[in-house]
A and B are shown apart, each in its own frame.
Chain A
Amino acid sequence: MIFTLHIWRQKSPQVGGSFSTYIINNIDGDTSFLEMLDQLNEQLIHQNEDCIVFDYDCREGICGACSLVINGYPHGEKTATTTCQLYMREYKNETELWIEPWRANSFAVLKDLTVDRSAFDRIIQSGGYVSVHTGSAPEANNILVEKNTADEAFSAAECIGCGACVAVCPNASASLFVAAKISHLMLLPQGEIESNGRAHNMMMQMQDEGFGSCSNHRYCERVCPKGISLQNITRMNNILG
């Protein structure tokens, strides 16, 4: 297959960027989206050009590093999939693909397709944990958790922190990310005690980082590669009052 790739190139956060167009051929359907970019980068090295920078690591859809907006969709149009798990068989031959970084004021573009997501770390630092000291834990089966509750907490805990929810949101809100963590921990007896303070602190931090508020567009739920539910935001709003 042959693809025409319009890729966002930007040298640094301080300078503006623009699309550059590349043609790539000999791509077969079992090639992943990122493997296609690998091949393009090999060509660029051959032509003495600087490679296209993009984040990736596990290539199994779990580390949350990869982050491309493809034809307007974070992680591409296929639902519940990260970019690294996207295969070229999803696209018709000779398609034009527009590849951009996450776009949000709180995620500065570092170079090309790579953005700074450290705001997410700071949000977690503001309270996204149970304050338990190593060594002070009780016997594990002393804390019983009803299976359905544990499953629900798990579904919220699956968030991989990729930032697709922010990238798609017209307000660049991080509500789904924040709510997933608040929800995961408040559902469990271990985390319930701190839920009020946690929710408040994390929300404040989200605002301080410049993320917008949720106004129920619900795009985040649709693009989330892990299918994190909007119900988490409702739960968060309830506790924030």
Chain B
Amino acid sequence: MSILNAKEPIGPLEMRWKKHLFDLALVAPQNRNKHKIIVIGTGLAGASLCATLGEAGYRVSSFCFQDSPRRAHSIAAQGGINATKNYQNDGDSVWRLFYDTIKGGDFRARESNVYRLAELSANIIDQAVAQGVPFAREYSGYLANRSFGGTQVSRTFYARSQTGQQLLLGAYGAMSRQVESGQVTHHSRTEMLEIITIDGKARGVVVRDLISGELSTHLADCVVLCTGGYSNAYYLSTNAKGCNTSATWRAFKQGAYFANPGFTQIHPTCIPPTGENQSKLTLMSESLRNDGRIWAPKNKADCKKNPKDIKEEDRDYFLERLYPAFANLVPRDVASRAVKHICDEGYGVGVKIHNQRLGVYLDFSNVIEKIGLEAVEEKYGNLFEMYERITDENPCETPMKIYPAPHYSMGGLWVDYNLMTTLDGLFAAGEANFSDHGANRLGASALMQGLADGYFILPQTIANYLARNTFDDIDENHDQVQVALSSVKNRIDQLMQAPDAQHSPEYFHQKLGKILWESCGMSRERGKLEQAIVELNDLKCEFWQKIKVTGIDKDLNQTLERAGRMADFIELGELMCKDALKREESCGAHAREEYLSSGGEAKRDDENFSFVSAWEYHKEGAKLHEEHLHFEFIKPTVRNYK
């Protein structure tokens, strides 16, 4: 095991990014056009990066698997984006956002990175407003704010419940402007399948044109992965169906370390599953917890009753009871565990699946009484509509039913302070890296991080990398390019011609999801994790024997796309379990049954586990490296939301 160095600047926290910016080397404007940069993924991080690099004068090649950059999964983020504007004069500051984020992440994130994120947050709002992002406003014309889980200030900016959509369309517009100017060459419906590494540096990618099935290689001076998270490994999740780990997993196999793969967030407020053939779960924004009150029946006999027939005194507002200070606004991991606990004890509501009712109520009757139906609909109208469309129930009349679902992955490729992975010239941004959220992400922080990485951090650190390195001319005939290309070809052949082809990718996805949800979901335990690792190994063998892809590979073939993504998910699943097994403590969203207090709270072990686990790929099994976390400015304490 080796110790990793994040290359953080030293000195006063407030000065670190400023000093670092000055220390970074620059590329002069007239030289920028000589450099080519590949960006994979066009969500908030990718689109904002393409726009900014293009404006600066670099040549950019971007790729996304969707049919347009505007459809990247950032589009689905609902609730909002945090920024330390302190417009509400309620005591917010850069320091407080930094503190909330470190604490929310249960002291498993790097102080320097998180402080920089908090510092840049205000600037993101300025940029988005200038682009025409229609944030919510007061009647005075000033920007409006709301509060969000895990904080006691109102620092969240929002655009109804489509904040991700509006921010992404802003970044997509800025990126489109650079496509028009010729600085960015974009390729939609194109999936990255391999990284090309030459002399220890990432120099290009192998991609598959999803319409024709043709493979091609693209070369550049560096490569940036903005390819999102991996919660889709659980099969039923709030992620889009196309979300996948393939780009980050290829990078891992090429030498980029994978950090904290076991840190995955289960979001408390999602529409409960209803049946076996369901393809995904739908999130109901955390902002609903501002005004909705979560409860379950006090008596088990009431669980199957119509909620209207359950008297007020027979309702258990368990978050308010357990956490009086934060009440319904406790962080996501705390809320999810409490909901699970209530349902496991037999107080859940809704349809019975596998003999258990998985749901609790999220009730708006109090707030409707207080501020009126119209005002509530103004705030949450489109969420209510979405809920009604899916469940056929009107939340203004019948309380919503909610249950936790996999939503976000804090883990991702390990990156240093410059957001570069352990593979030289390979950078990772947004949810694809592990950098800022520790063991649990606070609401409205993902949009902030993606845009901070893309608009403000990477354009500077990439310039530094380009300025400090020399790049030999390479062409497609280079041995390593051909090796990468043929490895992709072989893999596709294996997927198309499994020896005993029987099962669709969906079959394997469901199996994988079940194993992960039960062993590496909201609660983890040694025995189950060990068992899961064995099962996942078997599943991997079964996959390569029995995967069945119909049609041909030189064609638009969605079954083949899914099969390739599944192969990577199964391997990642094993690493998730390995990481969760190795971390013999509970922290944030990582709840090991053996290390919980009697009240079900996470019990951290700072003495032995105050580190980022970073896994290095080896054929015979991944090897663990540690990046030790140093808390110079905030003393790790027991998280207390009571």
Chain A contacts to B: CB under 8 angstroms: 28, 30-32, 34-35, 38-39, 41-42, 44-46, 48-51, 53, 55-65, 80-81, 85, 87, 89, 110-111, 114, 116-118, 120-121, 124-141, 143-147, 150-151, 153-154, 157-158, 160-161, 184-185, 188, 190-191
Q: How many Å lie between the Cα of A56 and that of B162 in the bound state?
A: 19
Q: Give chain B residues whose Cβ lies under 8 Å from the Cβ of A63.
A: 66, 71, 73, 75-76, 240
- CA separation between A200 and B159, bound complex, in Å? 28
The 9 A-B pairs with the shortest beta carbon distances in the complex, nearest first, are A129-B173, A144-B141, A137-B130, A50-B551, A137-B126, A154-B134, A140-B129, A57-B240, A134-B52
- How far, in angstroms, from A108 to B283 measured CA to CA in the complex? 34
**B448-487 interface with A by 8 A CB criterion:** 455-456, 459
B55 touches which of A50, A57, A133 (Cβ 8 Å): A133
B residues within 8 A CB of A34? 279
Closest-by-CB residue of B relative to A26 is: B277
B165 at interface by CB-CB < 8 Å: yes
Instruction: Judge whether A132 and B548 touch: CB under 8 Å.
Output: no
Which of B186, B188, B506 lies in contact with A38, CB distance below 8 A?
A: B506
Is A42 a contact of B556 with CB atoms below 8 Å?
A: no
Taking the closest CB of chain B, its distance from the CB of A16, in whole angstroms, is: 17
CA distance A134 to B175 in the complex (A): 11
CB distance from B546 to the nearest CB of A (A): 12
Q: A125-B177, A157-B166 are in contact. Are A111 and B555 (CB under 8 A)?
A: yes
CA distance A32 to B241 in the complex (A): 14
Whether A50 contacts B550 in the complex (CB less than 8 A), given A118-B67, A158-B162, comes out as yes
Chain B residues contacting A28 (CB-CB under 8 Å) are: 275, 277
**Number of A-B residue pairs with CB-CB distance less than 8 Å in the complex they form:** 216
Q: Given A34-B279, A62-B162, A140-B143, do A153 and B130 touch, yes or no (CB 8 Å)?
A: no
B interface residues with partner A (beta carbon < 8 Å)? 48, 51-52, 55, 66-71, 73, 75-76, 85, 87, 123, 125-132, 134-143, 159-160, 162, 165-166, 169, 172-174, 176-177, 179-180, 186, 188, 211, 240-242, 274-275, 277-280, 282-283, 385-386, 389-390, 392, 455-456, 459, 504, 506, 548, 550-552, 555-559
Q: Which residues of B contact A185 (CB under 8 A)?
A: 132
Contact call B277/A35, Cβ cutoff below 8 A: yes
Prevailing SS type, chain A contact patch? loop
| Cβ–Cβ contact B134 & A64, under 8 A | no
Q: How far is the CA of A55 from the CA of B186 in the complex (A)?
A: 20
Cβ distance B614 to chain A, nearest Cβ, rounded Å = 31
Contact assessment for B559 and A51 in the assembled complex, using a CB-CB cutoff below 8 Å:
yes
28 contacts between A and B (CB under 8 A): A30-B274, A41-B504, A45-B550, A46-B504, A51-B551, A51-B557, A59-B280, A63-B71, A85-B386, A87-B390, A114-B556, A129-B177, A130-B130, A130-B131, A130-B173, A131-B177, A132-B127, A134-B459, A140-B143, A141-B85, A141-B142, A143-B130, A144-B140, A146-B137, A154-B166, A160-B165, A188-B134, A190-B129
Minimum CB distance partner of B74 in chain A: A63
CB distance from B157 to the nearest CB of A (A): 8
Instruction: List chain A residues, Cβ under 8 A from B125.
Output: 140
Q: Which residues of A contact B129 (CB under 8 A)?
A: 137, 140, 143, 190
Closest A residue to B70 by CB, please name it: A161
In the bound complex, residues from chain B placing their C-beta under 8 Å from that of A125 are: 176-177, 179-180
Residues of B within 8 A of A65 (CB): 66-67, 71
CA distance A63 to B43 in the complex (A): 11
Contact A117 B127 (CB under 8 A): no
